[in-house]
Amino acid sequence: MAAFAPPPGTADIFPAEAGSWRLLENTAAKVFSSCGYGELRTPVFEYTEVFQRGLGGETEVVQKEMYTFEDRGGRSLTLRPEGTAGVMRALTNTDVANGNEQRVFYYGPMFRGERPSAGRRRQFHQIGVENVGRCAPLIDAECIAMLHNFLIAAGITGASFTINTRGVAADRAPAEALLREYFAKHLDSMCPDCRTRFERNIWRILDCKQECCQAIINDAPDYVGAFSEESRAYFEEVKTALTRLEVPFKVSSRLVRGLDYYVHTVFEVTHDALGEQIAIAGGGRYELFLPGEKRPLPGVGFATGVERLLMVREALNAPVPAETNADCFMIGLGSAARMENLVLANALRKAGKNIALELEERSFKAQMRAANRSQAAYTLIRGESELENNIAIIKKMDDGSQVEVPGDELLQYLLEHI
């Protein structure tokens, strides 16, 4: 059986679920384009250095989770583990480097070699946005409010927003010194991972989930207080704007996010349906160096995990939009009737109607069962005698009522009624 299952951490998405996927994608396109975002599609693989440089060589994603392989010429390629680095690479080829703003959104598969579990996949899908070229607290707030609007428009109510500030590069040294002094005193009672983080990237201690580290982390000193006045004022303005925009949020200095490119505002969204450990979205402001550019480009953005959004929608019993319900099912008895049905179906489909029909020789009973299964509101029935009399029977499935419609009026009749 194993050969028929998709590889661990991947999944097939069947038509019954596809309606919900499309709903999220369509809602995203509508909400994001109302804020001036246009869709950008980038390749699912990039040169490996796009991610190494973009995400930071010390990050867990780059160190442990990337699917990297060589192309025929020996160049190292990587399946994208996230969207931001590739979007920034693509934008080098636009006027963004000359100081113009670019607002783009994207959806598609991302790949991370994580241990699969509920809500954690090796191929997962993100819907994300990047707003590149500008840096201001109100832009960050606008971006977070747009995510809030998107979730509500997608039927996801009750999401919790947590925000924090990472300051800028110059803020890190004094804040790190404060954390180092504090954690050095507690290192003996902390988990082995935190001891390594203490040496390699002390910030990551703050989002450790191990029981033994919780009380120690909760009592850590307020490092944001050691950031510059400008950075603190930036964060204050983000918070004020979010309040004005009626986005409920809480502030947690433990939120640092796993990727290295963030500065200033960072945020994460969780939902009670999945618990605090599983984020349904995350993002923040960042600075990324484009190849060949001396100055980093500022941007702000987020990505939501589609599989996780769908899990929340399911927990909330949000209605699943039907993807394949036909408007009319056509039953044909005899090859001549089926030929006429196919020609009629083709004309109706060109006019945008959703038509299901049987084109193989099958019994009336079997075709009727298929008509019921299709959940079509109408069924057209035609056999040899109907063909001879140049009529078709149209049955309304909810009350079982039937009418006979002359052959040359059929197209018009169905266009008007189904």
**Site residues, ligand HAM (CB under 6 A):** 82-84, 112, 114, 119-121, 124, 126, 128, 130, 279-284, 286, 301-305, 307-308
Residue 289 has phi, psi (to 5 degrees) of -85, 125
Backbone angles phi, psi at 332, to 5 degrees: -125, 130
Residue number, 304 or 341, with CB nearest to ligand HAM: 304
CA–CA separation, 207 vs 266, rounded Å?
Answer: 13
Which of 128, 133 has the CB closer to ligand HAM?
A: 128
Closest distance to ligand HAM from the beta carbon of 11 (Å): 11
In whole angstroms, how close is the CB of 285 to ligand HAM at the nearest point? 8
Q: CB of 147: closest distance to ligand HAM in angstroms?
A: 10
- Only one residue has tokens 């006027």, namely 95
What's the closest the beta carbon of residue 84 comes to ligand HAM, in angstroms? 4
Structural tokens at position 64: 């442990």
Our CB check for ligand HAM shows the closer of 252 and 372 to be: 252
- Write down the least CB distance from residue 33 to ligand HAM, Å: 18
Contact assessment for residue 377 and residue 328, using Cβ atoms and an 8 Å cutoff: yes
150 vs 329, which CB is nearer to ligand HAM?
A: 150
- Is the separation of the CB atoms in 393 and 342 below 8 Å? no
CA distance 358 to 367: 7
Q: Give dist(CA 111, CA 120) in Å, integer.
A: 11
Cα dihedral: 355, 361, 363, 369 (round 10): -30
Residue type, 181: E
Helices 48-55, 84-91: axis angle to 10 degrees equals 110
Shortest distance, position 266 Cβ to ligand HAM, whole Å: 8
For the CB of residue 273, give the shortest distance to ligand HAM in the complex, in Å. Answer: 13
| Chain residue at closest Cβ approach to ligand HAM | 305
Phi/psi-derived region of residue 36, left when phi > 0, alpha when psi is between -120 and 50, beta in every other case? left
Classify residue 322 as exposed, middle or buried by CB count within 10 Å of its CB (0-12, 13-18, 19+): exposed
352 contacts: CB under 8 Å, gap ≥ 6? none
Residue placing its CB nearer to ligand HAM in the complex, 298 or 301 = 301
Nearest CB to ligand HAM, comparing residues 124 and 378: 124
**In the complex, what is the shortest distance from the CB of residue 162 to ligand HAM, in angstroms, rounded to a whole number?**
12
| 62 versus 216: smaller Cβ distance to ligand HAM | 62
Q: Nearest approach, Cβ of 83 to ligand HAM (angstroms)?
A: 5
DSSP state string for 32-56: HHTTT-EE----SEEEHHHHHHHH-
Closest CB to ligand HAM among 282 and 332? 282
Closest to 286 in 3D by CA, of 5, 47, 87: 87
Which C-beta is closer to ligand HAM: that of 288 or that of 331?
288
